[in-house]
Structure 1
Amino acid sequence: MLSTLRRAAARAGVIALVLGAAVAGSSVPAQAAGLTLTVNVANTVRPATQVAAGGLYGVGSDSQPTTAMLLPLNPTSFTQPAPGTTHLGNGATEPCCDSLKVGDNLVRAGAQQYIRMPDIYPSFPYQWQGWADWESKARKQVQDRLAETDMTNIRGWELWNEPDWTWNTSAAGSFNDGWARTYKLVDSLDPVTPIVGPSYSRYDHNWMQSFMTAAKASNTVPDVIVWHELTDMDWNNFDEHVADYRAIEDSLGIADRPIVINEYNSLNQMDIPSVALHWMSVFERYGAREAHRAYWFEAGTFDGLFTLQNQPTASYWLYRWYGAMTGNIVQTTPQSWLDGVASYDSTRKIVNTVFGGDYGNNTVRVEGLGSFGSQVQVQLLSTPGSGRNTAVAAPTTISTTTMNVSNGTISVPVNNMDAEAAYQLIVTPVGGPTTSWQQVYEAENQTVVNANTFASGNASNGSYVGQIDGSADMRSQSFVDFTVNVPTARSYTMTIRYANGTGANSTHGLAYNGSAWSTVTYPPTAGWAQFGTVNVTVNLKAGYNVIRLAKGSPYFSGGTGYAELDNIKLT
């Protein structure tokens, strides 16, 4: 997080900033045209989990943004400041965004959060007050969190932030030693919650090599690896950063850790939709688990997806399209600056592609449409590069057409592209999606807490959620939160596709929208990843609902046995 424009200027090497206006600089190419983005529906990359749909200080309170504003964006996770924060970031006059105070809002939106511990200090860069002071602060944060026995969505402790320039080596000793000392303190108080780091301001091989070597020697290797990507156009280097980090792990004999980029996008490019799209593309393509928009300006606006008046910006619509991705992320092959992210939902036959990055007349080629028939319906929309203080009430529909499919392929012309704008291409059968609203929700696409996703040819979308085993307390309880969107308020039959290899009945708790808990019973199936179904009735409100299936959860005594979840279907 950056508190002054001076630091941003030093980092980026430029200071051509006008608040409220997008500064293109080198964020867009010279005039170009005739490029093709290729989407291969048949080549799955990963389940659709909205990797890039997170933010630093993105949520300001229990109502800023409101849960209703967050839900359509399908946020994955956030980094929020310490419990009891006194931090005054980016010119704020009072502290904001306390992780425990915003936690319920995030839970309702299906999101998790990391706690940034040094943001207990009021200023940035942090003013070190000595080890006794820091350890007292860290201890109190953990104790405050443990006292919140109904708060389930704390995904990790971030021990420090940007130590490459905020750690006071002369007063506190080396960062590597300070990391180990803080890790051991936090772990002694809370050995369950993951610890994340080292949170460098940028990726650097020597820093990471030194840190990981020392962390292995002290037995304090982070559970999740975090660094920041804040340099103009650094999306071009993300694949190299990931490969270099994985090589360091391999050289040290350390098992692969999840990678989270908990600050991304530069000061100059933050509010240009096509730049955010470049970041989305590389995070999905090269294996980040989560990524958070950077906090350059006001807190509580999802880092510029909303104006200060709670209106959507141009970038909001890009993230709204991205949030609607279901099924699997599929392969996209960029050309020059033209890039994108695409998903395929086989249950509804929808290909959803968000793309942009270049000027002129270009093409999106979609392959693997053989099951769609001889013709498809194609809808093209856009959102402008209008900056963070301009409300955009809705995206612009450019065209809705019917196209012939040749050898499973269509080539869609996209003329007069603006390199700062973002675009959405929706491809369905001619009659539209196979269902008018989404009825099947894959477990692996949802909020998976203290459980893991596995691949299987038996699973309906190629993956399922297993190891839903924890029931001890709010730190380790295992559940899946399904965010569903239904057209009318009524009773629905919910069919749960599950596996139970225990040989005896197993149970989960079921709750939704704050309802009382009920019990779902899963008879034995032929084995693990061998799926059967059970039906239950749920009474849902029109619009968004969050349905929890839990082995353990606050206010629920805990399920019996074990079960795996493939999907739910509402009818």
Structure 2
Amino acid sequence: MTALVATTLTVAQPAAAEPESLTVDFGATTGDFRGGATGTLYGFGDEGAPTQALINGAHITNSSQKPPFGTQHPSGDILKVEDGFFAKHGEELAIYIQDHYPDWPYHRGVRVGDVRTYDQATGEYVEEPNGVWDYLEVVELMVEVVATQSDHPEEYLFIPFNEPDGIWYQNWPNLRDTFLSDWKAVHDKIQEVYARHGLAPARIGGPGDARWQPERSRDFLTFAKQNDVLPDVFIWHELGIENLATFRSHFADYRALERELGVAPIHVNITEYGMLRDMGVPGQLIQWFSMFEDAKVDSQTAYWNYAGNFSDNSARPNGANGGWWMFKWYGDLAGSQTVRVTPPELDVADTLQGIGAIDAANRRATVLYGGTDSDVRLDLRGLSPAVFGQTVDVEVREVTLTGAEGLAGTPRVVHAVDGARVAKNGTLDLTVPTYDRYAAYQVVVTPAQDRTVAVDPVWTTSIEAEDTSITAARTYAQDPQGNGGWKFLASGGEDVGSFNQPTSAADWTVTVPRTGTYRLQVIGATPGKPGRHALFVDGAHRDDIQYTADLALTDTARWQYRGSTEVAVELSKGTHVLSVRASRDGSQVLPNSDITLDKFVLTDVTDGEPTTYPASTLRYYGGAGLSWQSGTRGFGAVTGKGQRADAYVTAMETGYYDVAVEYHTAGASDLRLELGDRVLADVRVPNGGHRRTTVRAHLNEGINELELRSARGARVKSVTVTRAAEGDVAASTFEAEDLTLRGDAAVVSLDPSSGTNASGSKYVGWVGQGNGNHIAVPRGAGFDTPGDYDVVVHYANAETSGQHDYNPQVVDRQVVVTEGDDAAPVGSAYFRYTYSWHSFWQRTIPVTLTTGTGELRLGNPTAWAPDIDRVSVAPLVVGTPTTTRVR
């Protein structure tokens, strides 16, 4: 009996897996950081979709979009997105010229002939041949528009053919000569147009095959060299699961082919990579990033859904998901040198991989890694005493999978070593616990700083839905290699579905450290309609959980395309049983409660969830950088005109936050803090010392871009952002149905059984499509003076246009804000797709008002605006910034 019990216990409690090792040698550099792996195909929809904060924070350097007035997709016009793309980090914007055509594959998959005559002045055509290949006329038309209407024509890359091995030129033995002749024709035509306008030679990319094609590539390069029509960028796609194992060999074969043919190295862009399963998943993205960064190529996430969300790597109109933070971390390496990283296995799909980089000027070393379920032993080498000294600080941040539309807050420090001793040979070993294979980690190593390095103090805990006590529901395994990668992944590899009975419930026990307010975040998939669950605490109904809709237009998205919802709950110190249920009373299910549950996260927000962004994590420009002077070791030195430090801070909900900057000045100085391009604080300090400047500012749900400047010099220790909910009384909120409606704008009532999150189950529709059809917001206390304000619009937009095999053809609708009788806009924004006309999100429009009495009018003179549920008008800043001495 004793032996039997012992054996049973051994089987039930298997030994933990040994940590996997990742060796990073900071003394073995591999070249300048390229940073091209976060490119996107159709990552941009219309201006402001994504928002500028998301674009800049993700550090997007390259993207491919549709040509001007292209009809393949309803959004993504290159001229509409170029200003946002080039605002900070954009380097090369590519055009898929064939996306001029509305159908997929282009022209029904058959090479277009000569059946039309185009008017190059207007773009109009008649169905008559004219002896000129139709597509050549299209190319000329598109290039002419870019040459004459773009503000950045010399930063464009023209891609004449997309996947020619599958579209128009499939049969290589029979169509080889046709393709090569066509390539030369379009290449010459593009250059002809640019020369006509006195522009530098245009940049052209190709051939653009759907996969690495050795034979086709050989023929193409041979012909292109002989005819002086070599591409400026060589392009192919790496889309499948197996490409994580084969890309390096493909790239090596390509470089060997160049050498064999005597072709000088051509820059490579893998303009489509990854599968549905990879998007928004930090532990998957790092595997792709590491390959492409090793090769120093550019690359773009594939376009599997719709334009405007970085290929499912952002959440909601202005939010980060886990994938966005992976983009951001990768972009933070700009200015560094990459170093040699040795994973346990190379060229094996779905394994631990990483990127290492050293920024010697700022004395900062970084490792990004992910892709394993095991804990990770970091074998750090080459930590030079000349750069790091003998003692270093180490911070490890973690970002987990939150789903495509699930908000991911600022990654927290989950492991820290304050004053770690580096061995004499420059080595340091560190073992970091791993959440799961879909999580990723950022490790920052610096010399010892003049601040305490510690694990994030805000209490939080999480549990996978499948690990709760499940009633009348079912756990589903989500194989990461299932359906050929044509699926979305679940945190922990499983989720809970069939949650559709009156008794369906997920229960778990949690012990909270104190009495206070906690944010419960539920990550799950609400297919196509908004829905509700009931939240019980210790057996008593406490609140309803309101979900917004998620993508469900395709079978691969339904039940798998996950978002998040957040609800505040008051808990007393101690142990509680939390329960998410499909019914309040156990007999009738709530509307659309059949929701797939993936994960629950509980966070203490009693004190406003203070989140600190230390100087070691900021981005520096214009000569600004980390200072290592005694007393300000590890502070960010920002001195003089043109120098700047950027922070990307999270607001988990729209409202007021206290933004506090700690800094040191050597004497009388200044500090300027801007939110985007609007000033939050511009302070003067009379003498030197350590100070904290705090401003109460209105931040938007998701990512907010803060820029710090100092003309006379400041050393910034940190930026801390704390929710100040008591400040929300400064915002004026109106139900749309209670406002003045003009023209066709009208109130629409919804049946509560729709599950809608529209307040009062009402909204206003038929806004726009003419200046007269608008909503008028009267001026009143709180916004009766000129100045900077945020107009927060709760909206629904489920418009689609056209059909596509797998891309939901979503339309971004625009709201234009005017003041009084002046028709000139004081602000405008495009509003992303919300998946259902009954599902409402929020989008903020920054406005600068010039009067104190002119009503605000929300409409759209040329197209429909989204449906509007409610509107808030909030001053950008309330009160006067305060500056106090510290220590």
Structure 2 equivalent of residue 334 of structure 1: 343
Partner Cα distance (1:386, 1:36) in 2: 26
- In the alignment, is residue 87 of structure 1 matched against residue 66 of structure 2? no
Question: Which residue of 166, 181, 185 corresponds with 1:181?
Answer: 185
How far does residue 397 in structure 1 lie from its aligned partner after superposition?
2.4
Deviation track 1:295-343 (CA, whole Å, cap 9, x = no partner) reads: 1112110111212443211111111111111421222111132211122
Structure 2 equivalent of residue 136 of structure 1: 137
Question: Which residue of 400, 422, 433 corresponds with 2:416?
Answer: 400
How far does residue 441 in structure 1 lie from its aligned partner after superposition?
4.6
How many matched pairs? 428
AA partner of residue 201 (structure 1): A
> SS of the counterpart of 2:271?
strand
Partner Cα distance (2:189, 2:154) in 1: 22
Structure 1 equivalent of residue 666 of structure 2: none
Partner Cα distance (2:450, 2:296) in 1: 32
How far does residue 211 in structure 1 lie from its aligned partner after superposition?
1.7
Structure 2 equivalent of residue 428 of structure 1: 446
Q: Is the 8 A contact 1:39 1:342 kept in 2?
A: yes
Structure 2 equivalent of residue 380 of structure 1: 396
Question: Which residue of 41, 51, 55 corresponds with 2:36?
Answer: 51
Comparing 237-246 with 427-436, greater Cα deviation is found at: 427-436
AA partner of residue 95 (structure 2): I
- Quickly say closer, same or farther: Cα 1:347–1:435, change in 2 above 3 A: farther
Q: Is the 8 A contact 1:71 1:544 kept in 2?
A: no
Question: Which residue of 367, 383, 407 corresponds with 1:391?
Answer: 407
Structure 1 equivalent of residue 280 of structure 2: 271
Comparing 350-359 with 433-442, greater Cα deviation is found at: 433-442
How far does residue 363 in structure 1 lie from its aligned partner after superposition?
0.7
AA partner of residue 305 (structure 1): N
Partner Cα distance (2:317, 2:159) in 1: 31
AA partner of residue 358 (structure 1): T
Partner Cα distance (1:61, 1:156) in 2: 19
- In the alignment, is residue 68 of structure 1 matched against residue 53 of structure 2? yes
Structure 2 equivalent of residue 110 of structure 1: 89
Structure 1 equivalent of residue 99 of structure 2: 119
- In the alignment, is residue 348 of structure 1 matched against residue 362 of structure 2? yes
- Quickly say closer, same or farther: Cα 1:198–1:484, change in 2 above 3 A: farther
Q: Is the 8 A contact 1:488 1:543 kept in 2?
A: no
Deviation track 1:160-186 (CA, whole Å, cap 9, x = no partner) reads: 100001125699873222212211221
- In the alignment, is residue 485 of structure 1 matched against residue 646 of structure 2? yes
How far does residue 187 in structure 1 lie from its aligned partner after superposition?
1.9
- Quickly say closer, same or farther: Cα 1:306–1:435, change in 2 above 3 A: closer
- In the alignment, is residue 320 of structure 1 matched against residue 299 of structure 2? no
- With the length of structure 2 as denominator, give the TM-score of the two structures: 0.45
Identity %: 28
How far does residue 48 in structure 1 lie from its aligned partner after superposition?
2.3
Partner Cα distance (1:413, 1:86) in 2: 52
Q: Is the 8 A contact 1:314 1:392 kept in 2?
A: yes
- Quickly say closer, same or farther: Cα 1:230–1:49, change in 2 above 3 A: same
- Quickly say closer, same or farther: Cα 1:81–1:251, change in 2 above 3 A: same
Question: Which residue of 68, 77, 80 corresponds with 1:98?
Answer: 77
Unaligned runs of 5+ in 1: 1-30, 89-94, 446-480, 493-511, 515-540, 546-571
Unaligned runs of 5+ in 2: 1-15, 115-132, 196-200, 346-350, 452-613, 626-641, 648-660, 664-668, 679-704, 710-887
Partner Cα distance (2:30, 2:643) in 1: 22
> SS of the counterpart of 1:216?
helix
> SS of the counterpart of 1:166?
coil
How far does residue 356 in structure 1 lie from its aligned partner after superposition?
0.9
Comparing 483-492 with 152-161, greater Cα deviation is found at: 483-492
Partner Cα distance (1:39, 1:436) in 2: 20
> SS of the counterpart of 1:321?
helix
Partner Cα distance (1:258, 1:482) in 2: 31
Q: Is the 8 A contact 1:73 1:319 kept in 2?
A: yes
Q: Is the 8 A contact 1:307 1:390 kept in 2?
A: yes
- Quickly say closer, same or farther: Cα 1:353–1:160, change in 2 above 3 A: same
- In the alignment, is residue 214 of structure 1 matched against residue 218 of structure 2? no
- Quickly say closer, same or farther: Cα 1:416–1:276, change in 2 above 3 A: closer
- With the length of structure 1 as denominator, give the TM-score of the two structures: 0.69
Q: Is the 8 A contact 1:33 1:359 kept in 2?
A: no
> SS of the counterpart of 2:276?
coil
Compare relative contact order (CA 8 Å, sep 6+) and give the higher one, 1 or 2: 1
Partner Cα distance (1:418, 1:82) in 2: 41
Structure 2 equivalent of residue 304 of structure 1: 312
Partner Cα distance (2:191, 2:338) in 1: 36
Partner Cα distance (2:408, 2:96) in 1: 32
How far does residue 42 in structure 1 lie from its aligned partner after superposition?
1.5
Partner Cα distance (1:250, 1:349) in 2: 38
Structure 2 equivalent of residue 154 of structure 1: 155
- Quickly say closer, same or farther: Cα 1:483–1:270, change in 2 above 3 A: farther
Deviation track 1:354-390 (CA, whole Å, cap 9, x = no partner) reads: 1011122221111122322222111111111333132
- Structure with a larger share of its residues in helix: 1
- Quickly say closer, same or farther: Cα 1:168–1:542, change in 2 above 3 A: closer
Partner Cα distance (1:219, 1:146) in 2: 22
How far does residue 198 in structure 1 lie from its aligned partner after superposition?
0.5
Q: Is the 8 A contact 1:347 1:440 kept in 2?
A: no
How far does residue 197 in structure 1 lie from its aligned partner after superposition?
0.3
- Quickly say closer, same or farther: Cα 1:232–1:405, change in 2 above 3 A: same
Partner Cα distance (2:450, 2:179) in 1: 56
Deviation track 1:520-553 (CA, whole Å, cap 9, x = no partner) reads: xxxxxxxxxxxxxxxxxxxxx96179xxxxxxxx
Q: 1:224-239 counterparts in 2 under 5 A?
A: 224-239=233-248
> SS of the counterpart of 2:264?
coil
- Quickly say closer, same or farther: Cα 1:149–1:301, change in 2 above 3 A: closer
Partner Cα distance (1:416, 1:195) in 2: 43
Q: Is the 8 A contact 1:63 1:105 kept in 2?
A: yes
AA partner of residue 330 (structure 1): V
Partner Cα distance (1:73, 1:544) in 2: 18
AA partner of residue 30 (structure 2): V
Q: In terms of Rg, which structure is larger?
A: 2
Structure 2 equivalent of residue 502 of structure 1: none
Structure 2 equivalent of residue 458 of structure 1: none
RMSD (Å) for aligned C-alpha atoms: 3.1
> SS of the counterpart of 1:392?
coil
Comparing 224-233 with 396-405, greater Cα deviation is found at: 396-405
How far does residue 141 in structure 1 lie from its aligned partner after superposition?
0.6
Partner Cα distance (2:294, 2:54) in 1: 28
Deviation track 1:440-476 (CA, whole Å, cap 9, x = no partner) reads: 6589x9xxxxxxxxxxxxxxxxxxxxxxxxxxxxxxx
- Quickly say closer, same or farther: Cα 1:439–1:77, change in 2 above 3 A: closer
Q: Is the 8 A contact 1:169 1:175 kept in 2?
A: no
Structure 2 equivalent of residue 419 of structure 1: 437
Q: Is the 8 A contact 1:277 1:422 kept in 2?
A: yes
Partner Cα distance (1:346, 1:441) in 2: 16
How far does residue 117 in structure 1 lie from its aligned partner after superposition?
0.6
Q: Is the 8 A contact 1:195 1:223 kept in 2?
A: yes
Partner Cα distance (1:178, 1:287) in 2: 30
Partner Cα distance (2:397, 2:41) in 1: 28
Q: Is the 8 A contact 1:382 1:396 kept in 2?
A: yes
Deviation track 1:117-172 (CA, whole Å, cap 9, x = no partner) reads: 11111121101442432122111111101112632563311011000011256998
Question: Which residue of 428, 441, 448 corresponds with 1:410?
Answer: 428
